[in-house]
Structure 1
Amino acid sequence: MEIHLAFKRKLGFVDGSVKKSTTDEKYAAQWETCNNMVISWLHNNITDTIKRSILFINLASEVEKQLEKRFMLTNGSRKYKLSKDLFSLKQKELSIDDYYTTMSGLWEEIESMTVLPPVTTVNAKITSLLKAIET
């Protein structure tokens, strides 16, 4: 979904970086149209049960925050299941291509769930880590 939004140049509505104009009515109206289009795309890509929980939110960025908060809670159990699936994966009758693709998909999904904190200040520990990585 993120790729689709970026391709359509609408990712800013979801991450909140594109703000509604308070000075120009024409731009404000265009912003409303794009915001509603993004909300519609989001609604069309989720189940009806989840859709009911965000149905009356009028900002795409708020919809994203609500969905992120909702799914952040389930990421731990999802990550556990993926790790378990990866551990129990066996090639058996799969071709090497199918086996590798399945394994890579599990690795990539697990990796995408691992969010590292941003580095905001450089201290002695970070400097020594960077030096160790360079050697």
Structure 2
Amino acid sequence: MDGSLPRLALYDPNFALWDHCNTLVVSWLHQSLDPEILQTIMWMENASDSWNTLKKHYYQGDVFRISDLQEEIYLLKQEVEVMEAIHQVEEVEAEAQKYALIVTNQDKLFLEDDWSS
């Protein structure tokens, strides 16, 4: 139905086989469709043409899968943002700890001076 086996010429030795398969698929399509939708392809003789017409008019993609993928992308973006924020906090904390040691040491010096007087 995807057109990978195009209609063969009438004189082709495999035409009867192709025609039989095409008729089977067209019949299956006709039996599977709602009567209102069937009207759009009823007179088409080629399964590939029928399928492409239906696809053109009714295919919307896998809406649920698309929604799932969009949610995954959103969650991944949030996760990356959280990870970046954690990394930034860790960097700031590391830098602050360096200054805390200096402040702590200065406090000790100040306190020791205080006690000696």
Q: TM-score w.r.t. structure 2 length? A: 0.49
Q: Which structure's residues are more often helix, by fraction?
A: 2
Q: TM-score w.r.t. structure 1 length? A: 0.43
